[in-house]
Amino acid sequence: MSKNSNNSFLAFLIGTGVGTALGILFAPDAGENTRDRLTFKLSKYKKELEELISELVEGKETHLNEAKTEGKRVISEAKNKAENLLNDVNKLIDQINQGDN
């Protein structure tokens, strides 16, 4: 999920929760029934939010692992290129030294 869609989804959940809570509070029903329904709805939304947070954390860890892997690959390639360059420089130095003899 992209950051915008995560924010939109979170805003939707919050709006839905607030709307539901206000609707239940102003509904013509007994206080005990209203509280029970509100508790049920809030528990449901809490579970959905926990799942969303879990998904976001897992996604973040995936991106971190991918970044670490890519970083290690770039470092390995740079090291190999540096070693090859050093070998080429050493060969050139040897050629120059042999030409002086």
Query: What are 40-51's pLDDT values in tens digits?
Result: 887 888 888 888
pLDDT on residue 30:
72
Query: What are 14-65's pLDDT values in tens digits?
Result: 888 777 777 766 766 677 777 777 778 878 888 888 887 777 777 766 677 7
pLDDT on residue 51:
82
How many degrees, rounded to 5, is the angle at CA 17 between CA 13 and CA 19? 115
pLDDT on residue 99:
67
- Determine the residue type at 94: D
